[in-house]
Amino acid sequence: MTEKPEELQERLTREIATELQAELDHPLTEADWARIKEAVKERLRAELARRAAEAAKPKETEEYFVRFSFNVRAQHFVLAVGVLLLIFTGLPIKFHESAWAKYFFHVISLELSRLLHRVGASLLIGVGIWHMLYLLTAEGRREFRELLPRPKDLFDFLQNIKYLLGLSRERPKFGRFSYIEKFDYWAVYWGMVIMIGSGLLLWFHNLALGLFPKYVLDIAREAHSDEALLATLAIVIWHWYNAHFNPSVFPMSTTIFTGKISKKRMIEEHPLEYEQLMASSSPSPSEGEESRGEERAEAEQS
Ligand code: HEM
Protein backbone atom coordinates (compact mmCIF):
# COMPACT_ATOMS: atom_id res chain seq x y z
CA MET A 1 0.00 0.00 0.00
CA THR A 2 1.28 3.49 -0.81
CA GLU A 3 2.10 5.67 2.17
CA LYS A 4 -0.21 8.65 2.78
CA PRO A 5 1.52 12.10 2.39
CA GLU A 6 1.34 12.72 6.20
CA GLU A 7 2.96 9.32 6.87
CA LEU A 8 5.59 9.99 4.23
CA GLN A 9 6.35 13.41 5.78
CA GLU A 10 6.70 11.82 9.21
CA ARG A 11 9.03 9.10 7.91
CA LEU A 12 11.20 11.59 6.00
CA THR A 13 11.48 13.81 9.09
CA ARG A 14 12.56 10.84 11.18
CA GLU A 15 15.10 9.68 8.59
CA ILE A 16 16.63 13.10 7.92
CA ALA A 17 16.81 13.92 11.65
CA THR A 18 18.58 10.60 12.33
CA GLU A 19 21.03 11.20 9.45
CA LEU A 20 21.83 14.72 10.68
CA GLN A 21 22.14 13.65 14.30
CA ALA A 22 24.71 11.02 13.26
CA GLU A 23 26.87 13.79 11.76
CA LEU A 24 26.63 16.13 14.76
CA ASP A 25 28.26 15.83 18.17
CA HIS A 26 25.53 17.83 19.97
CA PRO A 27 21.74 17.46 20.35
CA LEU A 28 19.65 18.96 17.51
CA THR A 29 19.17 22.70 17.91
CA GLU A 30 16.30 24.86 16.66
CA ALA A 31 18.42 25.85 13.65
CA ASP A 32 19.01 22.16 12.85
CA TRP A 33 15.27 21.49 12.98
CA ALA A 34 14.67 24.38 10.58
CA ARG A 35 17.19 22.76 8.15
CA ILE A 36 15.47 19.41 8.58
CA LYS A 37 12.07 20.98 7.83
CA GLU A 38 13.42 22.48 4.60
CA ALA A 39 15.02 19.20 3.50
CA VAL A 40 11.79 17.29 4.26
CA LYS A 41 9.77 19.81 2.24
CA GLU A 42 12.08 19.36 -0.74
CA ARG A 43 12.11 15.53 -0.63
CA LEU A 44 8.36 15.42 -0.07
CA ARG A 45 7.76 17.66 -3.10
CA ALA A 46 10.03 15.46 -5.26
CA GLU A 47 8.39 12.24 -4.10
CA LEU A 48 4.84 13.54 -4.66
CA ALA A 49 5.80 14.79 -8.14
CA ARG A 50 7.26 11.33 -8.93
CA ARG A 51 4.04 9.66 -7.78
CA ALA A 52 1.87 12.02 -9.84
CA ALA A 53 3.98 11.30 -12.96
CA GLU A 54 3.68 7.57 -12.30
CA ALA A 55 -0.11 7.79 -11.95
CA ALA A 56 -0.41 9.83 -15.15
CA LYS A 57 1.50 7.22 -17.18
CA PRO A 58 -0.80 5.15 -19.42
CA LYS A 59 -1.39 1.78 -17.77
CA GLU A 60 0.59 -1.06 -19.29
CA THR A 61 -1.55 -3.46 -21.21
CA GLU A 62 -1.20 -7.14 -20.58
CA GLU A 63 -2.24 -9.75 -23.07
CA TYR A 64 -4.44 -12.65 -22.02
CA PHE A 65 -5.42 -15.89 -23.68
CA VAL A 66 -8.74 -17.63 -23.21
CA ARG A 67 -7.76 -21.01 -21.79
CA PHE A 68 -11.02 -22.53 -20.50
CA SER A 69 -14.56 -22.09 -21.79
CA PHE A 70 -17.43 -21.25 -19.43
CA ASN A 71 -18.63 -24.86 -19.69
CA VAL A 72 -15.30 -26.23 -18.41
CA ARG A 73 -15.12 -23.64 -15.62
CA ALA A 74 -18.67 -24.45 -14.47
CA GLN A 75 -17.91 -28.21 -14.47
CA HIS A 76 -14.79 -27.63 -12.39
CA PHE A 77 -16.73 -25.45 -9.95
CA VAL A 78 -19.45 -28.09 -9.36
CA LEU A 79 -16.79 -30.82 -9.08
CA ALA A 80 -14.81 -28.80 -6.53
CA VAL A 81 -17.88 -27.98 -4.40
CA GLY A 82 -19.07 -31.61 -4.54
CA VAL A 83 -15.69 -33.12 -3.65
CA LEU A 84 -15.05 -30.68 -0.79
CA LEU A 85 -18.50 -31.46 0.62
CA LEU A 86 -17.79 -35.19 0.33
CA ILE A 87 -14.39 -34.88 2.02
CA PHE A 88 -15.72 -32.70 4.86
CA THR A 89 -18.65 -35.03 5.56
CA GLY A 90 -16.93 -38.35 4.75
CA LEU A 91 -13.68 -38.14 6.72
CA PRO A 92 -15.43 -37.59 10.08
CA ILE A 93 -17.27 -40.92 9.48
CA LYS A 94 -13.97 -42.67 8.74
CA PHE A 95 -12.29 -41.19 11.82
CA HIS A 96 -15.43 -41.13 13.98
CA GLU A 97 -13.50 -42.11 17.12
CA SER A 98 -11.18 -39.11 17.05
CA ALA A 99 -11.94 -35.99 19.10
CA TRP A 100 -12.22 -33.68 16.07
CA ALA A 101 -14.79 -35.96 14.41
CA LYS A 102 -16.85 -36.11 17.62
CA TYR A 103 -16.73 -32.29 17.79
CA PHE A 104 -17.76 -32.09 14.11
CA PHE A 105 -20.82 -34.28 14.74
CA HIS A 106 -21.61 -32.23 17.86
CA VAL A 107 -21.71 -29.04 15.74
CA ILE A 108 -23.29 -30.60 12.61
CA SER A 109 -25.42 -33.58 13.59
CA LEU A 110 -24.65 -37.01 12.13
CA GLU A 111 -27.97 -36.91 10.23
CA LEU A 112 -27.16 -33.56 8.57
CA SER A 113 -23.64 -34.72 7.77
CA ARG A 114 -24.95 -37.90 6.09
CA LEU A 115 -27.51 -35.85 4.18
CA LEU A 116 -24.79 -33.43 2.97
CA HIS A 117 -22.65 -36.43 1.92
CA ARG A 118 -25.52 -37.55 -0.32
CA VAL A 119 -25.89 -33.99 -1.70
CA GLY A 120 -22.16 -34.02 -2.53
CA ALA A 121 -22.51 -37.48 -4.07
CA SER A 122 -25.40 -36.25 -6.26
CA LEU A 123 -23.26 -33.30 -7.41
CA LEU A 124 -20.40 -35.67 -8.25
CA ILE A 125 -22.66 -38.03 -10.21
CA GLY A 126 -24.32 -35.05 -11.92
CA VAL A 127 -21.02 -33.50 -13.01
CA GLY A 128 -19.82 -36.93 -14.21
CA ILE A 129 -22.84 -37.23 -16.53
CA TRP A 130 -22.44 -33.59 -17.58
CA HIS A 131 -18.79 -34.27 -18.50
CA MET A 132 -19.69 -37.37 -20.56
CA LEU A 133 -22.23 -35.26 -22.52
CA TYR A 134 -19.65 -32.47 -22.90
CA LEU A 135 -17.24 -34.97 -24.48
CA LEU A 136 -19.79 -35.43 -27.29
CA THR A 137 -19.49 -31.74 -28.28
CA ALA A 138 -16.85 -30.52 -30.74
CA GLU A 139 -15.06 -28.58 -27.99
CA GLY A 140 -15.19 -31.57 -25.63
CA ARG A 141 -13.73 -33.91 -28.25
CA ARG A 142 -10.94 -31.41 -29.01
CA GLU A 143 -10.04 -31.04 -25.33
CA PHE A 144 -10.20 -34.82 -24.80
CA ARG A 145 -7.72 -35.43 -27.66
CA GLU A 146 -5.34 -32.95 -26.03
CA LEU A 147 -5.65 -34.80 -22.72
CA LEU A 148 -4.75 -38.24 -24.09
CA PRO A 149 -1.42 -39.52 -22.72
CA ARG A 150 1.42 -39.57 -25.27
CA PRO A 151 5.04 -40.86 -25.21
CA LYS A 152 6.12 -37.19 -25.01
CA ASP A 153 4.56 -37.01 -21.52
CA LEU A 154 6.95 -39.68 -20.28
CA PHE A 155 9.95 -37.83 -21.79
CA ASP A 156 8.66 -34.55 -20.29
CA PHE A 157 8.36 -36.21 -16.90
CA LEU A 158 11.95 -37.54 -17.06
CA GLN A 159 13.25 -34.20 -18.33
CA ASN A 160 11.46 -32.37 -15.50
CA ILE A 161 13.01 -34.65 -12.89
CA LYS A 162 16.45 -33.97 -14.42
CA TYR A 163 15.72 -30.22 -14.39
CA LEU A 164 14.46 -30.26 -10.80
CA LEU A 165 17.52 -32.24 -9.65
CA GLY A 166 19.79 -29.70 -11.32
CA LEU A 167 21.09 -32.27 -13.85
CA SER A 168 19.81 -30.25 -16.81
CA ARG A 169 19.25 -26.55 -17.41
CA GLU A 170 16.40 -27.20 -19.81
CA ARG A 171 12.80 -27.35 -18.66
CA PRO A 172 10.46 -29.56 -20.69
CA LYS A 173 8.30 -27.62 -23.15
CA PHE A 174 4.63 -28.35 -22.59
CA GLY A 175 1.76 -28.09 -25.02
CA ARG A 176 -1.85 -27.37 -24.05
CA PHE A 177 -1.75 -29.82 -21.14
CA SER A 178 1.37 -30.92 -19.26
CA TYR A 179 1.73 -34.47 -17.94
CA ILE A 180 0.89 -32.99 -14.51
CA GLU A 181 -2.47 -31.69 -15.75
CA LYS A 182 -3.18 -34.91 -17.63
CA PHE A 183 -2.52 -36.91 -14.47
CA ASP A 184 -4.99 -34.67 -12.60
CA TYR A 185 -7.63 -35.28 -15.25
CA TRP A 186 -7.26 -39.07 -15.46
CA ALA A 187 -7.04 -39.50 -11.69
CA VAL A 188 -10.57 -38.08 -11.48
CA TYR A 189 -11.87 -40.85 -13.79
CA TRP A 190 -10.33 -43.52 -11.58
CA GLY A 191 -11.62 -41.81 -8.42
CA MET A 192 -15.12 -41.35 -9.85
CA VAL A 193 -15.47 -45.03 -10.81
CA ILE A 194 -14.34 -46.27 -7.39
CA MET A 195 -16.13 -43.66 -5.28
CA ILE A 196 -19.44 -43.61 -7.17
CA GLY A 197 -19.48 -47.42 -7.61
CA SER A 198 -18.75 -48.22 -3.96
CA GLY A 199 -20.75 -45.20 -2.71
CA LEU A 200 -23.92 -46.35 -4.50
CA LEU A 201 -23.57 -49.83 -2.95
CA LEU A 202 -23.32 -48.21 0.51
CA TRP A 203 -26.15 -45.76 -0.18
CA PHE A 204 -28.58 -48.43 -1.40
CA HIS A 205 -27.22 -51.23 0.77
CA ASN A 206 -30.57 -53.03 1.20
CA LEU A 207 -30.98 -53.32 -2.54
CA ALA A 208 -27.29 -54.26 -2.92
CA LEU A 209 -27.59 -57.00 -0.27
CA GLY A 210 -30.42 -58.52 -2.30
CA LEU A 211 -28.22 -58.59 -5.39
CA PHE A 212 -24.73 -59.44 -4.07
CA PRO A 213 -23.23 -61.48 -1.21
CA LYS A 214 -22.39 -59.42 1.92
CA TYR A 215 -18.64 -59.56 1.32
CA VAL A 216 -19.13 -57.38 -1.79
CA LEU A 217 -20.48 -54.64 0.46
CA ASP A 218 -17.60 -55.13 2.89
CA ILE A 219 -15.14 -54.71 0.01
CA ALA A 220 -17.08 -51.65 -1.20
CA ARG A 221 -16.85 -49.99 2.26
CA GLU A 222 -13.11 -50.72 2.49
CA ALA A 223 -12.47 -49.44 -1.03
CA HIS A 224 -14.61 -46.34 -0.42
CA SER A 225 -12.88 -45.58 2.85
CA ASP A 226 -9.30 -46.05 1.57
CA GLU A 227 -9.81 -44.37 -1.78
CA ALA A 228 -11.41 -41.41 0.06
CA LEU A 229 -8.15 -40.84 1.93
CA LEU A 230 -6.08 -41.34 -1.20
CA ALA A 231 -8.27 -38.87 -3.13
CA THR A 232 -8.05 -36.29 -0.34
CA LEU A 233 -4.26 -36.56 -0.18
CA ALA A 234 -3.98 -36.44 -3.99
CA ILE A 235 -6.07 -33.27 -4.07
CA VAL A 236 -4.26 -31.55 -1.22
CA ILE A 237 -0.71 -32.61 -2.11
CA TRP A 238 -0.73 -32.93 -5.91
CA HIS A 239 -3.56 -30.77 -7.20
CA TRP A 240 -3.43 -27.93 -4.70
CA TYR A 241 0.36 -27.77 -4.90
CA ASN A 242 0.26 -27.42 -8.68
CA ALA A 243 -2.70 -25.01 -8.77
CA HIS A 244 -2.11 -23.00 -5.59
CA PHE A 245 1.08 -23.49 -3.63
CA ASN A 246 3.56 -23.77 -6.51
CA PRO A 247 5.71 -20.59 -6.21
CA SER A 248 4.99 -19.66 -9.85
CA VAL A 249 1.25 -19.30 -9.14
CA PHE A 250 1.06 -18.78 -5.35
CA PRO A 251 -1.37 -17.98 -3.71
CA MET A 252 -3.47 -19.44 -6.50
CA SER A 253 -4.00 -19.65 -10.23
CA THR A 254 -7.29 -17.94 -11.10
CA THR A 255 -7.38 -19.40 -14.64
CA ILE A 256 -9.99 -22.06 -13.81
CA PHE A 257 -12.32 -19.35 -12.47
CA THR A 258 -11.78 -16.55 -15.01
CA GLY A 259 -10.86 -18.78 -17.95
CA LYS A 260 -7.96 -16.44 -18.75
CA ILE A 261 -4.19 -16.96 -18.66
CA SER A 262 -1.63 -14.19 -19.08
CA LYS A 263 0.69 -14.24 -22.08
CA LYS A 264 3.64 -14.45 -19.67
CA ARG A 265 2.31 -17.63 -18.03
CA MET A 266 1.26 -19.02 -21.39
CA ILE A 267 4.82 -18.69 -22.70
CA GLU A 268 6.32 -20.12 -19.52
CA GLU A 269 3.88 -22.98 -18.94
CA HIS A 270 2.53 -23.89 -22.39
CA PRO A 271 5.19 -22.74 -24.85
CA LEU A 272 4.29 -25.28 -27.54
CA GLU A 273 0.61 -24.29 -27.48
CA TYR A 274 1.63 -20.64 -27.59
CA GLU A 275 3.85 -21.21 -30.61
CA GLN A 276 1.08 -23.18 -32.32
CA LEU A 277 -1.50 -20.45 -31.68
CA MET A 278 0.85 -17.74 -32.92
CA ALA A 279 1.65 -19.72 -36.04
CA SER A 280 -2.01 -20.32 -36.85
CA SER A 281 -3.48 -16.95 -35.82
CA SER A 282 -3.96 -13.69 -37.64
CA PRO A 283 -3.87 -10.51 -35.53
CA SER A 284 -7.69 -10.18 -35.29
CA PRO A 285 -9.15 -10.08 -31.76
CA SER A 286 -10.65 -13.11 -29.95
CA GLU A 287 -14.03 -14.11 -31.30
CA GLY A 288 -15.40 -15.64 -28.13
CA GLU A 289 -14.41 -18.03 -25.45
CA GLU A 290 -16.15 -21.08 -26.80
CA SER A 291 -14.00 -21.12 -29.94
CA ARG A 292 -10.58 -22.18 -28.75
CA GLY A 293 -9.56 -23.00 -32.29
CA GLU A 294 -9.76 -19.36 -33.27
CA GLU A 295 -8.39 -18.26 -29.93
CA ARG A 296 -6.33 -15.10 -30.02
CA ALA A 297 -4.33 -13.03 -27.64
CA GLU A 298 -6.68 -10.52 -26.03
CA ALA A 299 -5.31 -7.14 -25.08
CA GLU A 300 -6.77 -6.00 -21.78
CA GLN A 301 -6.17 -3.18 -19.36
CA SER A 302 -4.42 -4.71 -16.38
C1 HEM B 1 -14.52 -37.65 -3.39
C2 HEM B 1 -15.57 -38.41 -3.15
C3 HEM B 1 -15.92 -39.05 -1.82
C4 HEM B 1 -15.25 -39.05 -0.64
C5 HEM B 1 -13.93 -38.37 -0.32
C6 HEM B 1 -16.03 -39.85 0.30
C7 HEM B 1 -15.66 -40.12 1.58
C8 HEM B 1 -16.31 -41.02 2.40
C9 HEM B 1 -15.80 -41.56 3.62
C10 HEM B 1 -14.41 -41.25 4.19
C11 HEM B 1 -16.73 -42.35 4.16
C12 HEM B 1 -16.59 -43.14 5.45
C13 HEM B 1 -16.21 -44.57 5.10
C14 HEM B 1 -15.93 -45.41 6.32
O15 HEM B 1 -16.89 -45.90 6.92
O16 HEM B 1 -14.73 -45.55 6.68
C17 HEM B 1 -17.87 -42.33 3.28
C18 HEM B 1 -19.05 -43.01 3.52
C19 HEM B 1 -20.09 -43.05 2.63
N20 HEM B 1 -20.12 -42.48 1.38
FE21 HEM B 1 -18.67 -41.40 0.54
N22 HEM B 1 -17.16 -40.29 -0.33
C23 HEM B 1 -17.13 -39.83 -1.62
C24 HEM B 1 -18.06 -40.08 -2.58
C25 HEM B 1 -19.26 -40.73 -2.38
C26 HEM B 1 -20.25 -40.97 -3.38
C27 HEM B 1 -20.11 -40.52 -4.84
C28 HEM B 1 -21.29 -41.61 -2.77
C29 HEM B 1 -22.58 -42.09 -3.36
C30 HEM B 1 -22.80 -42.30 -4.61
C31 HEM B 1 -20.96 -41.80 -1.39
C32 HEM B 1 -21.74 -42.40 -0.44
C33 HEM B 1 -21.34 -42.75 0.82
C34 HEM B 1 -22.14 -43.49 1.75
C35 HEM B 1 -23.57 -43.96 1.54
C36 HEM B 1 -21.36 -43.68 2.89
C37 HEM B 1 -21.74 -44.45 4.18
C38 HEM B 1 -21.95 -43.53 5.31
C39 HEM B 1 -23.37 -43.06 5.40
O40 HEM B 1 -24.28 -43.89 5.43
O41 HEM B 1 -23.54 -41.85 5.45
N42 HEM B 1 -19.70 -41.26 -1.18
N43 HEM B 1 -17.58 -41.53 2.23
Q: What is the pLDDT of residues 225-281, one digit of tens each?
A: 999 999 999 999 989 898 888 888 888 888 999 999 999 999 999 999 999 999 987
Q: Using the mean position of ligand 1's atoms as its centre, give its distance from the Cα of residue 124 in Å.
A: 11
Nearest-CA residue for atom 14 of ligand 1: 94
Could you tell me if 290 and 95 are in contact, meaning their C-beta atoms sit under 8 angstroms apart?
no
Helix (H, G, I), strand (E, B) or coil at 295: coil
Long-range (24+ apart) CB contacts under 8 A made by 80-84 are 81/120, 81/123, 82/120, 82/121, 82/123, 82/124, 82/126, 82/127, 83/120, 83/124, 83/231, 83/235, 84/120
All structural domains of the chain: 5-57 (no CATH), 63-301 (1.20.950.20)
Least confident window among 54-68, 151-165, 230-244: 54-68
Nearest-CA residue for atom 15 of ligand 1: 94
The pLDDT of residue 1 is 62
43-60, pLDDT tens digit by residue?
Answer: 999 988 888 888 877 666
Could you tell me if 117 and 86 are in contact, meaning their C-beta atoms sit under 8 angstroms apart?
yes
Nearest in space to 118 (alpha carbons), one of 197, 199, 192: 199
Which residue out of 93, 192, 200, 201 has the highest number of ligand 1 atoms within 8 Å of its CB and is therefore the one to mutate?
Answer: 93
